[in-house]
Amino acid sequence: MKKIYLDHAATTPVRKEVLEAMRLYFSEKFGNASSLHSFGKDAKEALSKSRKTIAKIINARANEIIFTSGGTESNNLAIKGVAFANRDKGNHIITSKIEHPAILKPCKWLEKQGFKVTYLNVDKYGVVNPKDVEKAITKNTILVSIMHANNEIGTIEPIAEIGKICKKHKILFHTDAVQSFGKLPINVKKMNINLLSASSHKIYGPKGVGMLYVNRKVNIEPILHGGGHEYKLRSGTENVAGIIGFAKAVELATKEMKKEGERQIKLRNKLIKEISKIKDSYLNGHPTFRLPNNINFWFKGVEGESLLLRLDEKGIAASTQSACSSSSLKPSHVLTAIGLSHEQSHGSLRLTLGKENTEQDINHVLEVLPQIINSLRKISPFKW
Amino acid sequence: MKKIYLDHAATTPVRKEVLEAMRLYFSEKFGNASSLHSFGKDAKEALSKSRKTIAKIINARANEIIFTSGGTESNNLAIKGVAFANRDKGNHIITSKIEHPAILKPCKWLEKQGFKVTYLNVDKYGVVNPKDVEKAITKNTILVSIMHANNEIGTIEPIAEIGKICKKHKILFHTDAVQSFGKLPINVKKMNINLLSASSHKIYGPKGVGMLYVNRKVNIEPILHGGGHEYKLRSGTENVAGIIGFAKAVELATKEMKKEGERQIKLRNKLIKEISKIKDSYLNGHPTFRLPNNINFWFKGVEGESLLLRLDEKGIAASTQSACSSSSLKPSHVLTAIGLSHEQSHGSLRLTLGKENTEQDINHVLEVLPQIINSLRKISPFKW
């Protein structure tokens, strides 16, 4: 049975060009980038090249790219690092209710350390209103953090507008771009972004690598202290092979962004159009301000987890909510924020496309999905 | 020219069995371990197997192994995680002056957050006296952190004795075992270790992976908040391929520990014996309580960095101090702590052996080194 992987928001396979780029750096050019001998110099050079590649793509400087172990660490560094470094200026942070747990949990933790956090509401599509951001600003506000695109429902946030407001009020603006980086164009200067988190494994790079763009004017302190690597902002021997893979993945994603994005949008729209025809199915997230690869529906009278397992039996890998919360029994905080009830939330399904998915895959899903939903509804404990 | 790599304390190449073990997990079994479908289950299973392999080797339980991005993160998690979680019990930490910066810097940072830290002196060999640990304990002491073996001078600390003292006083004991893990036998139960940091890339595993052993009775809080991975102690999508590589590296290192250790001790002792014959050369660190692969000398009238560059020209990769501090102009805090002057410290050289080094390599070093030292002394700015 051919497996159809439709969970690219959770993770992606490492593409062969990426693995090829990494290969030499595991066992041959394996030096510690801090060592002064030739092995060290080779590693340092490769690191520096990767930094330049990534910086250029978002219109940043090389020394503004801080390599981390992934999106979660980047988000923690952004939120806590800015909060601690700017404590003397104020203790207020603005974010939204639909951020990833790697933003929300650090914010909750900061509240215990004496910070105040405003969690903005979103509309029924999951859109943050820039006016709400502006209204929430107080004289103690030091940071605004709003994600570029939501990981569950794919909604793209108006971050350029939010960036403009933050600039006007001289408040630092961070965006969690883990789901959009390599998929949507990003220009940190034009969008007035001061800090931006990205991850490698969402775009066919290896797991365990990510980065935080930090504008050099930003006052921030490290969360991992030690040898002073990464411009003293992130200690720890650099994962050279991983970083090289990340840079290669970014390079390829950027090159293919337009064409692949258009291809995915066609497949996405077909899926949305056809799934909408299933009785009592409702699209979650915005119909057009939406990641090219995201489809999210709730189905009345269906239990999401059962749906997922039935799809898995048919070789289709999907998810109910984000992978990070998949073992939790709590309804998705994102779906709750856009107004879904407990029942509706648990009846939701996320499909996220990738570059290896074909029209044939989509047709197969469209054949299988309505049957499974029908059969699940027959045994449904929910009234509908 | 054959290159002779003698900087294995800085990092090691990924060995071929490790890369082989990782391979499948980059592009085929690439799932997110939190996903509920078959790709996710494969990843979760591999993760669980790796956890068991590592736990068994140090006599721990699988659920006491927390995978991290490396030694620095493990040390930060241990120090800050225990400090924050036990704030109500006390605010005093005991460590030594020769710890890695990934211990010392988090301690310095905690001092700014209201904690008190005692930095114990060491003797001229770099040994921490367990009696000094006991004397430093106050009713506010919540944590003792003493490294297993020093990264610069190779001295092995009496951690079993220190563990016993901590147990007696009911104080948590952490050891940074980044340099000893896979090289010296470790039994966390017998040695009364509550927390232990280890790193993959020091033992022929990939960079960007490490672990913290946390006894399940330890009260600790995460430093990376988010999706709640790793028993809620370390959020972030698990680096599955990296973790599998780490586990394979640990497995092989353990299997070969005795034989390879004995082989390295012979080479080490030969190097120490022969280098000692160079006029005005002095061994740094303990003559016998010493890592099997560590050689560290200071040479009167020699500038360490010049020595290193000359060796590099001859294809020999060595270091002056730890890689993490190599770009710093400050004298090594470790060499200062064992009583070396600024000049002596800057005249020091570290050679660290690995499994691919042969007797022939050692002979070559012994041929080249005295010549370089002689030639450097001729142009030395130091009086000697």
B158 shares its domain with B54? yes
How high is the pLDDT of residue A321? 73
Q: With 90 as the cut, is the pLDDT of residue B330 above it?
A: no
Q: Which of B322, B326, B200 is closest to A239 using CA atoms?
A: B200
Q: With 90 as the cut, is the pLDDT of residue A330 above it?
A: no
How high is the pLDDT of residue B279? 96
- Cα B72 to Cα A235: distance, rounded to the nearest angstrom: 7
B227/A72 CB distance under 8 A: yes
How high is the pLDDT of residue A24? 96
How high is the pLDDT of residue A161? 98
A210 shares its domain with A314? no
How high is the pLDDT of residue A1? 78
Each residue's pLDDT tens digit, A122-148: 999 999 999 999 999 999 999 999 999
- Count CB-CB contacts under 10 A for residue B298: 21
Q: With 80 as the cut, is the pLDDT of residue B321 above it?
A: no
Each residue's pLDDT tens digit, A239-258: 999 999 999 999 999 999 99
Beta strand pairing call for A195-199 and A281-283: unpaired
Enumerate residues 6+ apart whose C-beta is below 8 A from A188: A58, A59, A60, A194, A196, A213, A215
Residue A325 DSSP symbol: G
How high is the pLDDT of residue A384? 52
Residue B163 backbone phi and psi in degrees, to 5: -60, -40
Each residue's pLDDT tens digit, A146-178: 999 999 999 999 999 999 999 999 999 999 999
Each residue's pLDDT tens digit, B272-300: 999 999 999 999 999 999 999 999 999 99
How high is the pLDDT of residue A307? 95
A154 is written with which tokens? 């794919």
Residue A383 falls inside a structural domain: no
Asked whether the beta carbons of B196 and B179 are under 8 A apart, the reply is no
B121 is written with which tokens? 């002196």
Q: What is the CATH number of the domain that holds B324?
A: 3.90.1150.10
| Chain B: closest CA distance from residue A136 (Å) | 24
pLDDT, average across residues B306-330:
83
Residue B281 DSSP symbol: E
pLDDT, average across residues A321-338:
78
N-term to C-term CA, chain A? 34
B36/A309 CB distance under 8 A: yes
B37/A323 CB distance under 8 A: no
Last residue of a domain, one of B252, B274, B296: B252
Residue range(s) defining the domain that contains residue B295: 4-11+257-378
Strands (E), chain B: 4-5, 65-68, 92-96, 116-120, 141-145, 172-176, 195-199, 210-214, 281-283, 294-299, 316-317, 348-352
DSSP per-residue codes, B72-93: HHHHHHHHHHHHHHTTTT--EE
| CA angle in degrees (0–180, nearest 5) for A210-A215-A217 | 145
What is the separation of C-alpha A98 from the centre of its chain, rounded to a whole number of angstroms? 12
Q: Catalytic amino acids of A?
A: 324
Each residue's pLDDT tens digit, B147-158: 999 999 999 999
A210 shares its domain with A290? no
How high is the pLDDT of residue B2? 86
A213 shares its domain with A143? yes
pLDDT, average across residues B351-379:
96
A239 shares its domain with A263? no
A211 is written with which tokens? 């980065």
B133 shares its domain with B162? yes
Tell me which chain B residues have a C-beta less than 8 angstroms from the C-beta of A311: 37
Enumerate residues 6+ apart whose C-beta is below 8 A from A171: A137, A141, A142, A143, A144
Residue B67 falls inside a structural domain: yes
| Chain B: closest CA distance from residue A350 (Å) | 12
Residue A14 DSSP symbol: P
* Residue B302, beta-bridge partner list: none
- Cα A12 to Cα B378: distance, rounded to the nearest angstrom: 59
Mean pLDDT, chain B, whole residue set: 96
Distances, alpha carbon A333 to alpha carbons A11, A112, A126, A152, B47, in Å: 20, 21, 11, 10, 27
B235/A72 CB distance under 8 A: yes
Residue B354 DSSP symbol: -
Q: Which residue has the tokens 């030292």?
A: B373
B244 is written with which tokens? 């599998």
Q: With 60 as the cut, is the pLDDT of residue A236 above it?
A: yes
Q: Which residue has the tokens 């001289």?
A: A170
Residue A207 falls inside a structural domain: yes
B263 shares its domain with B328? yes
B14/A36 CB distance under 8 A: no
Q: What is the CATH number of the domain that holds B104?
A: 3.40.640.10
Last residue of a domain, one of B233, B252, B271: B252
| Chain B: closest CA distance from residue A168 (Å) | 31
Domains held by chain B: number = 2
> H/E element holding A168?
helix A159-168
Residue A47 falls inside a structural domain: yes
Work out the pLDDT band at B384, boundaries 50, 70, 90: low
Residue B328 falls inside a structural domain: yes
Work out the pLDDT band at A326, boundaries 50, 70, 90: low
Evaluate the CA torsion angle A2, A8, A14, A15 in order and state its sign.
Answer: positive
Residue A101 falls inside a structural domain: yes
Distances, alpha carbon A41 to alpha carbons A18, A223, B317, B320, B356, in Å: 22, 27, 11, 15, 21
- Cα A345 to Cα B253: distance, rounded to the nearest angstrom: 48
B240 shares its domain with B311? no
Enumerate residues 6+ apart whose C-beta is below 8 A from B90: B138, B139, B140, B141, B142
- Cα B342 to Cα A5: distance, rounded to the nearest angstrom: 60
Tell me which chain B residues have a C-beta less than 8 angstroms from the C-beta of A35: 7, 10-11, 317, 319, 323, 326
How high is the pLDDT of residue A323? 60
Asked whether the beta carbons of A238 and B207 are under 8 A apart, the reply is yes
How high is the pLDDT of residue A59? 98
Q: With 80 as the cut, is the pLDDT of residue B306 above it?
A: yes
- Cα A9 to Cα B12: distance, rounded to the nearest angstrom: 34
A292 shares its domain with A245? no
- Cα A143 to Cα A137: distance, rounded to the nearest angstrom: 9
How high is the pLDDT of residue B46? 97
Q: With 60 as the cut, is the pLDDT of residue B75 above it?
A: yes
Q: With 70 as the cut, is the pLDDT of residue B243 above it?
A: yes
How high is the pLDDT of residue B76? 98
| Chain B: closest CA distance from residue A105 (Å) | 5
B102 shares its domain with B176? yes
- Cα A269 to Cα A272: distance, rounded to the nearest angstrom: 5
Name which of B69, B87, B209, B211 to mutate to probe chain A: the one with the most chain A Cβ atoms within 10 A of its Cβ. Answer: B69
Residue B222 DSSP symbol: -
Enumerate residues 6+ apart whose C-beta is below 8 A from B30: A11, A12, A13, A14, B39, B43, B240
> H/E element holding A247?
helix A240-275
- Cα A347 to Cα B255: distance, rounded to the nearest angstrom: 50
Q: Catalytic: which of B137, B278, B283, B324?
A: B324
B35/A209 CB distance under 8 A: no
B93 shares its domain with B138? yes
Length of chain A equals 384
What is the separation of C-alpha B254 from the centre of its chain, rounded to a whole number of angstroms? 16
Q: Which residue has the tokens 């010049």?
A: B306
| A62-87 burial: b if 16+ Cβ within 10 Å, else e | eebbbbbbbbbbbbbbbbbbbbbbbe
Last residue of a domain, one of B252, B278, B300: B252
A66 is written with which tokens? 């801080």
Q: With 70 as the cut, is the pLDDT of residue B370 above it?
A: yes
Residue A175 falls inside a structural domain: yes
Residue B326 backbone phi and psi in degrees, to 5: -65, -25
Q: Which of B346, B356, B330 is closest to B380 using CA atoms?
A: B346
Q: Which residue has the tokens 């005991």?
A: B94
How high is the pLDDT of residue B326? 59
Tell me which chain A residues have a C-beta less than 8 angstroms from the C-beta of B12: 30
When computed from its CA atoms, the radius of gyration of chain A, rounded to whole angstroms, is 21
B306 is written with which tokens? 């010049």
B186 shares its domain with B225? yes
- Cα A206 to Cα A12: distance, rounded to the nearest angstrom: 9
Residue B336 falls inside a structural domain: yes
